[in-house]
Structure 1
Amino acid sequence: MPTRTTKTAKTTRAARTARAGNTARPPGRHDQRRPGAAVHRGPHHWFADRLLAVLSGRRPVHSLMGHTVGPAYDQLIALAPADPLCDRLTPVVHRCGRFTPGPGVIEAFARIATGDRLTALAFRLEQGTDLRWRCAAVELQGMRP
């Protein structure tokens, strides 16, 4: 009497994968969606986050020493709080934008939200001969974040 063989789940899955092609989607998912492309954030976003960290007291001023040029470092020292961040609300960058007046220069702004209060932050970035961006000027309008 011939013996009857049964397919195992492992061989069935391998056969389905070979037939359908090697797909990266989870089993049972039939649409062709993929994760969206990564959003390229410019240097003004990076500087807005770092400047906010310094101006709110979460990072020391000297953390931006190599990223500033001209009077910007002195402006940061004058604007940064002397006391560290305590029981205050954590400020966040609400919106960040930029204007490019010429090659190698970005004039940027950031709206800083602290609770229901907004503060304006304006800064100028200049690209050096080594193609690194450096902050050349910082202004803060409104209450300190």
Structure 2
Amino acid sequence: MSGQGSPKLTVDGSGMRVVVIAAQWHTEIMDALLAGARRALTSAGVTDATVLRVPGAFELPVAAARVAASRPDAIVALGVVVRGGTPHFEYVCQAATAGLTEVSSRTGVPVGFGVLTVDTERQALDRAGLPGSDEDKGAEAVEAALATARVLAGFPAVSK
């Protein structure tokens, strides 16, 4: 299981402004990831959170780039890509991963990576934070983004 060895993060998100960008493909899984993200935001004390919906995982980087220009404390990207019978899976996963990494590195705004890249829908359901799921990747992405934002809060923002 990918969650083995993960840190238990307790994050104070009070006073932080967070934008969650969520894809729309795979409604049941995405709704669960978004619910997990919302639970984690509430648990961390975040009261200034905006949710944006984009069509799919491929659109997450452009949305994150636009949002990062407004200088939120953190961005959380949520999506799911299930392997099919064509190379489309690799292209979308690579574009989402590289694009979100580039946004975070270029702007200095932490981006929580909650994009499930799985072989089967069952694997996604097991990570979506549903009752009976092994993991809650929506919540984990929020916790990682907030923890990183707290760590970096004492350092000046990147300006370009």
- Shorter-chain TM-score bucket reads under 0.3
In proportion to residue count, which structure has more strand?
Answer: 1
- Normalised to the residue count of structure 2, the TM-score between the two structures is 0.25
Larger RCO of the pair (alpha carbons < 8 Å, separation 6+): 2
| TM superposition score normalised by structure 1 | 0.26
Greater percentage in helix: 2
